[in-house]
Each structure stands twice: as structure tokens, then as C-alpha cells.
Structure 1
Amino acid sequence: MAPKFGTSGLRGLVTELTPDLVSAHIRAFLAACPNGGAVHVGQDLRPSSPAIAEAVMSAITGAGLTAIDDGVLPTPALALAAMRAGHAAVMVTGSHIPADRNGLKFYLPGGEISKTDETAILAALDSPAPDAGQAGARQKTGSVPAQDYVARYAGAFGPGALEGLRIGVYQHSSVARDAMIEVVTALGAEAVPLARSETFIPVDTEAVDPKTRDQLAGWCADHNLDALISTDGDADRPMVADATGRIVPGDVLGALTARALGAQVICTPVSSNTMIGEMPEFGTLHRTRIGSPFVIAAMEAVLADDPAAKVVGYEANGGFLLGFTAEAPAGPLPPLMTRDCLLPILAPLALARAGGKDLAALVAALPPRFTAADRLTGVEPETARAFLAELDGDAAARAAFFDGLGPETEVDRTDGLRLRFASGDVIHLRPSGNAPEFRCYTEAASPARAEDLLASHLGKLRARL
């Protein structure tokens, strides 16, 4: 599919992300949005990222601004550095999608772009700002932004937070592969590096394939691990497994992290586990469309009403957003209103250790709702949307497709089509907005039931699409 600009920025095939197209989007971004006089540029480890980053920086200096080259680093580390400096930022990454694709993520001096900013950027593509009469400068920061990102959590959690734990770090081609080693070591754990790769591996933390799950379980057994951690390619999504190698879903990590930080208001997409509504310590729950801009918009609305609100956001993929200064085990942790991977990795592990439990026991004590998710690839959004429109408009078609699940008790159209049945089972179908993927989310009263629902409905979707 042709490159598309949406909730996660610009994404498309590398062959179609030409210097002219990249430059046009950068110029439109600079014309439509505040930038603070400079733009930080980061990149992931895809083979195509250096050339695209060069096109990004050339467009920035061509507009007369300073391009600050932060190099290869986690997306939240880039956002942290840019926000501290009062500058805009652009991350060159395709996140979890394959290496034949790439993209750009855009940040204002105050954080991620909103849907309003997205609309303004698209409008500016028709008449981007002209080149400046004099080229801007370039600066290179080296490893400082990544070091500051690690120091944020080393200082807040302290050297004893993970003392005595043996933690595997699935490094693959994540930009956080060194940061993860550094931070768990700083918190007192023994880090065990695993499977570092010089070839890009597209890890989707929300849809981990069976082969990888088996690999995680094998590493945990072979290395006698207390937990295993990883991230997606640009490190704004965590992956955490317990001592058996069982992955803790991202929305469960989100609930545990919110508990560890003393949050009171939760903003999370409609796809997240409904257990959060059964946890009495949280006063208010706001459900949103899927995507960090929608979560951030909900958090900002909460803070507009009450600037002292202890509000956090998280997504089913595990990306966590902190909207208040929280008290961590060793000191204050300032807000960071962008998807982060390290906080939802560290907070649940530290919470479990502080309570004298392992991670599995901590998870087992939560309300018993279980989710599963996966995707079909190669399904164009237009095809997916047409199929969903058919189901949405015809109750008989839904009954036929969801045969055996009993009567519907709720139809939620917040984002895609999410149905709850009298049994308590939930099926949520949603096309990707910027990749040829069709997502299926399930929820049930047991892990086995959620997995069975996922397998059967992916099979139905595969046959139809």
C-alpha cells in the first residue's frame, strides 16, 4: 500500500518513502506545528533508517532550523530529550512492522502530535513552507539522550528495586537493547543478554507468534530466569514474561504499573482488558479509541479539569503514559506523556519484589479476565472496512459469523466492532489504519477460552478475507 499518514505518523514501503516524499512531510510538519527552533531526530535499527534520517535532517536544515541528530535510541528517550529542550522531534521508525517498511513519528515540544495536528500537517502538504534563504545547523548529541532516559528510571527506582532477580533481556534488534541491560543492572538485577541480532526482527509485542513464545519459555528454563523482558523495534512498547516464559499482556502491565504508581484516573483504549474496571483503587476510567493520540487527549482533558489529577494512560500493546509526578520507590518520577516501554517493565517487577512475590503471583491476584490478540497480514484496510460495515449493519450476519457465542449484550463501535456476549466473552475486530493488517482481540474468563476464541475467529476471518 502507498505511504499513509495517520495516528502513528507516516508509514509505508521503503521503496515508496522517497527523499522527496519524506521532505514534503517534514516541511509540512514544520509549517503546521510549533518546533521551538530545532528538531531532534532519532532512528531505529532498520537498514533503511539512516538514509531516511538523512533526508529528514536535510529537510529541517533546508527550512533554516537546527537538526539535532540523536542517533539510534528508543522513541521515548528521543521524546524525553526533545521535550526537556522545548524542541520538536521526528523518529524514523516503522515500529513493529517488517523491515521492508518504515516511517516517521512526529513530536511537538510538548509531546506527541494530536489528531488536530495530523489534520494540519496533511493540509500543509498542499502548500509546504518554502526553503529558507540560509540553511540551518546540525548538531550531534551522541549517547546523552539514551543515558538520560536510563538515568530517569535508575534514579526513581533505586539500586535495590530488583535486587536478587535474574532477568533475561531479549535484545533482538530493539533500539533499547543496551538500555534494558543498563537499567535492570542499575536496579540490582542480574541481566542475561539473549539473541542480539544484527538483522532487523519485527517484534510485535501485542501479537507474539507461537514460535517466539516457545523460545521465551525455553530461555526462562535454560537460564533459570525470574523474568524476561524485551520491546518492539523502536521501544515504545514493552514485552514482559514471567519465570515460566508466559507473556504478561500489555494491558495487565498497565494496570499493575498504575497500581504501583498510585494512579487514580485511568485512560485506556476500548481494546484494553476490562479488569481495570474491577480494581477498586482506581476512581475513574476513560475508554478511548485505539492510539496514543486518543489516550493523550483524554489525559489532557482530565488534567484541564484538575491539574493535580493522578492520571495515567496505557494501551493494550503495553505503551504507558505518565501524566503526573509519581512517587517511585527511590524518589519522584516526573510526567512523560508519550508511550514508554521501561516504566511498565520496571514497575510491575519492582512491585512484585517489594511484596515478596514473583510476577506470576502478582498477576494471578488480579480480577480474572484474560485477553488474546493477533492479526492477519496482507488484508488491505478497504477490504477490512467493507467486511466490518457488512457485520455492523446486519444483526443476522453477525449472528452467523459469531455462531455459537449466544446473544449479544453489547455492541461497541468506539473503534472497529467490539461485541460482548451473554457468556461474558468479547470479540473485537479492527482494521489497521496504516498497514495491511486486520486485528482480532478476544477476552474471556480464562486464558484458554480467550485463546480458543482468537484461533477460531482468526480462522473465520482468514476464510472470509
Structure 2
Amino acid sequence: MSDLSGIVKAYDIRGVVGEQLNADIVRDFGAAFALLIKPDSPSVVVGHDMRDSSPGLAAAFADGVTSQGLDVVSIGLASTDQLYFASGSLNMPGAMFTASHNPAQYNGIKLCRSGAAPVGQDSGLAEIRDTVEQGVPSFAGQPGKVTQRETLGDYASYLRELVDLSGNRPLKVVVDAGNGMGGHTVPKVFEGSTVEIVPMYFELDGSFPNHEANPLDPANLVDLQAKVRAVGADAGLAFDGDADRCFVVDERGEPVSPSAVTALVAVRELAKEPGGTIIHNLITSKAVPEIVAEHGGKPVRTRVGHSFIKEKMAETGAIFGGEHSAHYYFRDFWRADTGMLAALHVLAALGEQDGPLSELTVSYQRYAASGEINSTVRDQVASQIAVKDAFSGRNGVTVDELDGLTVELADGSWFNLRASNTEPLLRLNVEAADAAAVDALADEVLAIVRA
């Protein structure tokens, strides 16, 4: 029996191609997924990103699905949110082959049920892992068939129906696709709009020759920031490898916090549905629940990760949810995450008024934050316990362990320390009243973590 714990994560499958992932094991994952969803659906929709290994792995997965008698609808090259659109609009379970922002040697599978409903550890992934580890049973019936379907145009049209830019003032926007799937989707989404796109790194290349497709790393924003300033753009957008996350910079080239984007979009969604529920994960700025409440909404806090967010949205009927990692979830998009739709909201809000983006977003950015600080440690659990022991006895300190360790100090500053769901790292996020307080708290925590 093989042990797949190294690649079956909290809400997806991810590993190094040739070492942890190959066509044979992916074929078994396809067959196991087919067994999971067979009672509910006769077909599976499959898409893949631009990594060299993605087409072959997607084909192997399709072989596994069809070996169990189910059909496959292949949409070929797609962003992850394009796959979610296909799953939602076609009402089929889906599989997306991507390793998102991970380096070129990685690949993975994001799975969903019909209507883009999540498949995580508690909603099918553990069962899939068990089936593969124990050996997928053979199927004696007729194998399924694979058909091709184009969905990019329908995906773009649907997004434009949700956010209409046609009546807004013209905008110049630099987009850094990072050689990822944004180069595939952005031209179609903005086709015929009032937005002039200045493209950067739109060539699909899974080796990421210009920089990693991870916009949360400040080093990967440098080119975008310089270009925004050089061309006098109104804003800049940076997408990750599978283009489900979007990071925003203003006209000065300064980053707009994903928490600020969450708050901005929440306010727009609450204007359409007063009193609605907004989901925010536990590492978003505390400004998000404050602003949601101020606008008559109900903020609900949840743990990090798309499967957890989607489950909480379904449970509460939430209209929108945001994560500090720049994932944004919309009830109108089958509760799935789409950075593209969030970007459209930001540009719509900008285009509906005359001021610059920096003025528009300043009211949504109330506190200073560290951003994500990663540490590689020998024992993640021991490190978290050491930090908890150091802080929990102090006056006015509150501690919770909804996801990792969250500590709030008496002065209102707070931090979260949690193990990554996809990499062998501890991730630290700190927020406080100003940058000096953030640095001091981060240094204190990191001294314990890295001791």
C-alpha cells in the first residue's frame, strides 16, 4: 500500500512531477474520483494550465475517469476559475490540473463536485486517497468517451454580465500574467471594454522565465510596479499561475492589500444585497469585519483554504468571501474563487468615480500588516507550542486555534502562525496600528519560531 499523505493536501493534490506525481498515479486518481462522483454525475469536466506536464497528466486522469464508465468533457487550456465556470454552468464535477504558484517542477489537481462545490479532506479527498492507496477496483462495463468543448468565450461573457464596465470612464491597466493562464483569459474578458490593457508576460510558459507566478511575493511585483509608473496607468493587476488569484497595485505602483480589496468588493456586494453575509478568513485584516458591519453586513470568520470558505458560504448563504491570499469567492459564481471577477469589481469602482485608486482604497486600509512571512522549521507543532506558551500568560491576551495559532494582544495587535497546507512551512501574519509595531511583534514571534 503506497502512502499518499505527501501529495494529498487539505484541499487539493500537489507534488513534484516524476517523483510524486506521474501518469499512472494520476490515472488512479481519475478512476477514484469517478467512483466518488459516479452516483451523482455521468460526466467530468477537465481543464489544465500551461505547465509542460499538464496536458499529459490531464489525459491520464481522463483515462482513469473513462475506465470507470464515465464521460469526460475536456476544455483544454483554462484558468482555474474558468474550470469552475465550466463545472457550474455545465453542472458537472471538475478537475483542474495546476500547481498554481508553485515552481515549474510541481503539478497538482484541484477537484470539485457539480456546481463547483469543493472537494477537500472532509468532502471526498480522504476517500479518494484511501481508494488509490488500497487499489482502485476495475470496472467491467463500457468505458466512457472524451469530448472537447470550448468555454473561454462563455466564461468571459458571464463575468461581463456580473460586472459591467461599459459605462465607466476609460482606464489604462497594466496586467502581469506571469506567463500563466492570465495570458489566456485576460484578452477575452476585456475584449471590447473601456479598459486599455498593457500586457506583460502573456506568453504561456510553465517554466516561468520572467519571475515566479506568485504575486504575494513582493519580488514578483517589481516589474509590474515599474511598468504602471512608466506608462502612467490607472492600476496594475498581477495574476498567479492558474489565474484564480489577482493582486492589485494602484497608480503609484503601491500594492493594495487583498484585505482592502475584500472590503471594497464586500461593500459593493452589500449595496446589492443589504444585510448579507460576508466571509473572511482569519488572516484578513480586522478592518474587513469592521467595514462589513459598518455597512450593515454580517461578517463571518473562517479558516484558510478554498474548500473551507466554500463550505462556510454554502452553510451561511454568504454573498461574498475573501482571503488575504487574494482569493475571492462569489455566490453568483457558484461560491467559487475568481480573481478575475474581483479585479472587475475594483476597476468598476475605480471607473465609476474620478479619483485615483490610491484615494479610493485608502479608507479600506486601516492598519499596518507584515504580509506573509515564511519559516522552514524542524518541528512545526513544537514551534507553535513554544509561541503559544510565550504569549498565552500575558495580561489581555486572547488565543484561539481555529486554524493554527491566532494571538490578539491587549493593544489590538494580533498575529496568526499556521502550517502551510501546500508546503513544509510555518506562515506568520502580523497586524498592528503602525509599521513599527508590526516589525516589533513579528521580530518577537520569529525569534521563538527560528530559535
TM (norm. structure 1) is: 0.86
Q: Is 1:77 paired with 2:65? A: no
Contact 1:73 1:176 in 2 (8 A): no
Ranges in structure 2 where 5+ consecutive residues have no aligned partner: none
Contact 2:164 2:348 in 1 (8 A): no
Letter aligned with residue 8 of structure 2 = F
2:112 to 94, 98, 107: 107
Q: Is 1:10 paired with 2:13? A: yes
Alpha-carbon separation, structure 1, partners of 2:171 and 2:314: 37
Q: 1:111-142 CA deviation, whole Å, 9 max, x = no partner? A: 2224232333233333534234322111112x
Alpha-carbon separation, structure 2, partners of 1:335 and 1:196: 25
1:295-374 maps to which residues of 2 (within 5 A)? 295-303=309-317, 311-323=319-331, 334-366=332-364, 368-374=366-372
Alpha-carbon separation, structure 2, partners of 1:240 and 1:132: 52
Alpha-carbon separation, structure 1, partners of 2:145 and 2:102: 32
Alpha-carbon separation, structure 2, partners of 1:278 and 1:192: 35
Q: How far did 1:265 drift?
A: 0.8
1:123 to 111, 115, 130: 130
Letter aligned with residue 236 of structure 2 = L
Alpha-carbon separation, structure 1, partners of 2:448 and 2:213: 23
1:91-240 maps to which residues of 2 (within 5 A)? 91-111=96-116, 112-114=118-120, 115-125=122-132, 126-141=134-149, 144-197=150-203, 198=205, 199-200=207-208, 201-205=211-215, 207-209=216-218, 211-240=219-248
Q: Is 1:253 paired with 2:251? A: no
Alpha-carbon separation, structure 2, partners of 1:408 and 1:17: 48
Alpha-carbon separation, structure 1, partners of 2:172 and 2:42: 45
Alpha-carbon separation, structure 1, partners of 2:131 and 2:105: 27
Alpha-carbon separation, structure 2, partners of 1:377 and 1:245: 28
Q: How far did 1:354 drift?
A: 1.0
Alpha-carbon separation, structure 2, partners of 1:153 and 1:452: 43
Letter aligned with residue 410 of structure 2 = A
* SS of corresponding position for 2:374: strand
* SS of corresponding position for 2:350: helix
Alpha-carbon separation, structure 2, partners of 1:410 and 1:189: 46
RMSD (Å), alpha carbons: 2.5
Inter-CA distance 18–195: structure 2 relative to 1 (3 Å threshold): closer
2:288 to 247, 259, 276: 276
1:285 to 299, 313, 317: 299
Inter-CA distance 222–11: structure 2 relative to 1 (3 Å threshold): same
Alpha-carbon separation, structure 2, partners of 1:254 and 1:56: 35
Alpha-carbon separation, structure 2, partners of 1:242 and 1:451: 24
The range that moved more, 121-130 or 51-60, is 121-130
* SS of corresponding position for 1:103: strand
**Partner in structure 2 of residue 51 of structure 1:** 56
Q: How far did 1:23 drift?
A: 2.0
Contact 2:30 2:63 in 1 (8 A): no
Letter aligned with residue 120 of structure 1 = E
Q: How far did 1:38 drift?
A: 1.1
Contact 2:279 2:300 in 1 (8 A): yes
Q: 1:302-346 CA deviation, whole Å, 9 max, x = no partner? A: 13xxxxxx62212111211112xxxxxxxxxx3421111111111
**Partner in structure 2 of residue 460 of structure 1:** 447
**Partner in structure 1 of residue 383 of structure 2:** 387
Inter-CA distance 185–449: structure 2 relative to 1 (3 Å threshold): farther
Alpha-carbon separation, structure 1, partners of 2:297 and 2:440: 33
Q: How far did 1:377 drift?
A: 6.3
* SS of corresponding position for 2:212: coil
Letter aligned with residue 337 of structure 2 = R
* SS of corresponding position for 2:402: coil
Contact 2:377 2:449 in 1 (8 A): no
Contact 2:368 2:434 in 1 (8 A): yes
Letter aligned with residue 113 of structure 1 = V
Inter-CA distance 379–32: structure 2 relative to 1 (3 Å threshold): farther
Letter aligned with residue 19 of structure 1 = A
**Partner in structure 2 of residue 446 of structure 1:** 434
Contact 1:31 1:129 in 2 (8 A): no
Inter-CA distance 462–184: structure 2 relative to 1 (3 Å threshold): farther
Q: Is 1:432 paired with 2:444? A: no
Q: Which has the higher strand share?
A: 1
Contact 2:377 2:450 in 1 (8 A): no
Task: Give the % identical residues.
Answer: 24
Letter aligned with residue 288 of structure 1 = T
* SS of corresponding position for 1:234: coil
Alpha-carbon separation, structure 2, partners of 1:152 and 1:451: 43
Letter aligned with residue 372 of structure 1 = S
**Partner in structure 2 of residue 24 of structure 1:** 28
* SS of corresponding position for 1:318: coil
Inter-CA distance 462–419: structure 2 relative to 1 (3 Å threshold): closer
**Partner in structure 1 of residue 92 of structure 2:** 87
Letter aligned with residue 279 of structure 2 = C
Q: How far did 1:390 drift?
A: 3.3
* SS of corresponding position for 1:204: coil
